[in-house]
Structure 1
Amino acid sequence: MLISAYSCYIPPDILKYVAIAGLMFPVLFLLNLLFGLYWLIRLRLKVLLSIITIAAVIPQVNSIFQNFLRNEEVYNSDTVTFTSFNVRLFNYWHWVDVDVKTEIPRLLDSLGTEVLGIQEFYKSQYSPDLSQFKYRHIVTGYENKDFGLAIFSKYPMRKKDFVPFEADAVEDRGGFIYADIETKLGLIRVVCAHLVSFKLTNEDLSLVEKPDIGENTHKLRADYITLIGKINKAFEKRALQVRELKRFIADSPYPVVLLADLNDTPISYTYKVLTQHLKDPFTQAGTGIGHTYNRTRYPFRIDYVLHSPKLEAIRYTVAQRPILSDHYPVTAVLTLNTSIQ
């Protein structure tokens, strides 16, 4: 479990395969907790080993599990509500039996969203017009694809641009967008990003969740080797991408809010690099597990609203109903951090 917990400190492009252990941390932690309870009931000294191990991974636990009964704080100061949402092309291929053209604007209104970052934005007859947002910055067509990234805002935008990743950072030439937005909290640089995914197929997911034990052993082993190679390659690419993203954020003249599908969990190098400069509102105002991806049975949190320390979160939600995509929208209500002048 310790290797899994601290794998996030090791760059995946330097030491291969270690990052995969981070995906297993929640399961390993729960198993260790169960063993600890067992040894405690049996009054065995082995319980001390479980206690020491659990104490050593408390920071990682806090990034995955939060108080289920957190009381909502009430603030009288100005706030701005930010939402990040991977919309999966606005359901262009009808993955879910829902009218997203109607339901997405309705959901955003209920969340009180004022600044919205969209990943996998796609303009078609199924796209909502999102007319409640007066200002927008949309970039599509990079990576030779018809979809891309978008920032929508109820506040005026100043400078806005697309920043490509360097040629040696990712072979399909991705990037991220940003907009400097004049909010009630002052000028904030909003960055919208979508880091490279594992590109898992339905067959890959079935191999993980429902492996066919009766299948030819050699073929099953070969399939697992291929899958592990695909996962490791994505970890390596994201390591390169996130270091570029971190440099851009560190150079910002204004406080930053990152709205992103990172395709990585909190026990990852990607998350660790970004949270050196940014805070995670889930750890300040979240509850439960906060998983954001619904295509697997495992509760992965891979979508984020991260922000500069000059801001603080007073509310954090993951809207898991209605299901409008294979990702859930993540919303954070932010205010100025009065402890930092």
Structure 2
Amino acid sequence: MGPRDALASGRQPYKTQMMRSRSAYRWFNIVYVACMASWLLLRAVFMDRSWLLALVNTMAVYLFIPLPVLLFIGLIQLRKDSLGLLTLPALAFMLLYGELFLPRKAGAEPIQGPSIAVMSFNLHFRNDEMEGVAEAIRSASPGIVGFQELTAAHGNILGDLLSQDYPYRTPLVFAEDRRIGLFSRYPIMSVVGLTFARRQQAMRVKLEMEGQSVYVYVAHLSPTLISNVLDDSGPAYVSETYAWRAEEAASLAASVSMLNEPVILLCDCNFTDTSYAYSKLEAVLEDSFREAGWGFGHTVQPLGFPFRLQRIDFVWHSSDLVAIRAGVGPEGGSDHRPVVAFLKLRPPTAAEP
């Protein structure tokens, strides 16, 4: 065998390996795009009606993890056929999450009305780091703080630590150990407790803000606990909790729709923005983070996890307000990060003659 023959025989395994790699890449693309197309179709038709589909919808952001890797390989290999296939998941990502990564236009709509910073904070009922919670609140300096999983001990300690900052506080109106509550720099005019069918809680607080009445809801919707998903009754449990959450969101939407004044909802909603229950509130309120935040904005980090997993905490507002800025607040010893939004009241529209 001559030198040329030896060189050719040495190249043959390399060419074979490259062809196999390209074929594997192509077939992986086909399978991935087929799965994504199936999910998008099922979601459009059934949304959260199936327990398994409901879970997939909740974790939808993680379905896109392979996408940048596949796009990168397609680009360096100049695989036009594969890049064409990946157009579908790329467009789906842009539709679902693209606006969260666009630059925010500062000053696009100047608003002359009063401004207010608000925070929603699930403390975790076993959290004993109230000094850290108080510091997290002070660093964001919101005018209103809505709490979920606020125990009586939490309320008493935080009431002492923040008494100078928040002179107005709601009473602990619920008998259960995991209450909700609100601390405010603005006078509280009334408090109405709302209880859903599954004992999850909400309250409606009327505040006097800059001469304007504003209604602030604080809510904690039904959770779907991972430990219960994994036991024998998992499918039935998932179906129940997703249905409860959708009913609770619909009840809140109906309550909000009856009001003519500005509304703010501070909520540990226990759903993501790709869930059916999200659409119930989105029909009547604006998601502040979608409007003025940047990035995924994940707020929940189960104890022991190295990173935050999902955005399930929200600041919603009615069309009487506009979000100027929104983001995730500092850590305070809980498995949730607070979400903070800076809102402005729109000036009243002049009545037509």
TM-score range, shorter chain: 0.7 to 0.9
The one-letter code sitting in structure 2 at the alignment partner of 1:59 is L
1:238 aligns with 2:227: no
The one-letter code sitting in structure 1 at the alignment partner of 2:63 is L
Q: Is the 8 A contact 2:136 2:330 kept in 1?
A: no
1:136 aligns with 2:147: no
Unaligned runs of 5+ in 1: 93-98, 206-222
Q: Is the 8 A contact 2:152 2:172 kept in 1?
A: no
Q: Is the 8 A contact 1:9 1:269 kept in 2?
A: no
Aligned residues: 304
| Cα gap change, 1:272 to 1:61, in 2 (>3 Å) | same
**Superposed, which structure 2 residues align to 1:50-61 within 5 Å?**
50-61=86-97
The one-letter code sitting in structure 2 at the alignment partner of 1:255 is P
| Cα gap change, 1:179 to 1:302, in 2 (>3 Å) | same
Q: Which residue of 1 aligns with 2:275?
A: 268
How big is each residue's C-alpha offset from its partner over 1:200-228, in whole Å with a ceiling of 9 and x where there is no partner? Answer: 34xx79xxxxxxxxxxxxxxxxx566444
| Cα gap change, 1:86 to 1:319, in 2 (>3 Å) | same
Q: What TM-score do you get using the length of structure 1 for normalisation?
A: 0.78
CA shift, 1:77, in A, is 5.0
Q: Which residue of 1 aligns with 2:200?
A: 174
The one-letter code sitting in structure 1 at the alignment partner of 2:241 is A
The one-letter code sitting in structure 2 at the alignment partner of 1:127 is I
CA shift, 1:57, in A, is 4.5
Moved more, 46-55 or 254-263: 46-55
Q: Which residue of 1 aligns with 2:316?
A: 306
Of residues 288, 294, 310, the one that matches 1:287 is 294
**Superposed, which structure 2 residues align to 1:314-329 within 5 Å?**
314-321=324-331, 323-329=332-338
CA radius of gyration, larger in: 2
Q: Which residue of 2 aligns with 1:186?
A: 212
Q: Which residue of 2 aligns with 1:109?
A: 138
Moved more, 21-30 or 254-263: 21-30
How big is each residue's C-alpha offset from its partner over 1:95-114, in whole Å with a ceiling of 9 and x where there is no partner? Answer: xxxx42x2322322221211
Provide the C-alpha distance between the structure 2 equivalents of 1:335 and 1:35, rounded to a whole number of angstroms.
42
Q: Is the 8 A contact 2:51 2:238 kept in 1?
A: no
The one-letter code sitting in structure 1 at the alignment partner of 2:281 is L
Aligned-pair Cα RMSD in Å: 2.9
Provide the C-alpha distance between the structure 1 equivalents of 2:58 and 2:270, rounded to a whole number of angstroms.
11
How big is each residue's C-alpha offset from its partner over 1:221-269, in whole Å with a ceiling of 9 and x where there is no partner? Answer: xx56644443333212111211111111111221211100011111111
Q: Is the 8 A contact 1:317 1:331 kept in 2?
A: yes
The one-letter code sitting in structure 1 at the alignment partner of 2:217 is V
Unaligned runs of 5+ in 2: 1-35
User: What is the aligned-residue identity percentage?
Assistant: 25
SS of the residue 2:80 aligns to: coil
| Cα gap change, 1:82 to 1:8, in 2 (>3 Å) | farther
Provide the C-alpha distance between the structure 2 equivalents of 1:115 and 1:183, rounded to a whole number of angstroms.
11
Provide the C-alpha distance between the structure 1 equivalents of 2:326 and 2:232, rounded to a whole number of angstroms.
38
**Bigger proportion of residues as helix:** 2
Q: Is the 8 A contact 1:137 1:151 kept in 2?
A: yes
Q: Is the 8 A contact 2:206 2:216 kept in 1?
A: yes
Q: What TM-score do you get using the length of structure 2 for normalisation?
A: 0.76
Provide the C-alpha distance between the structure 1 equivalents of 2:232 and 2:200, rounded to a whole number of angstroms.
27
Could you say which structure has the greater relative contact order, defined with CA pairs below 8 angstroms and 6 or more residues apart?
A: 1
Q: Which residue of 1 aligns with 2:82?
A: 46
Q: Which residue of 1 aligns with 2:260?
A: 253
Provide the C-alpha distance between the structure 2 equivalents of 1:78 and 1:262, rounded to a whole number of angstroms.
27
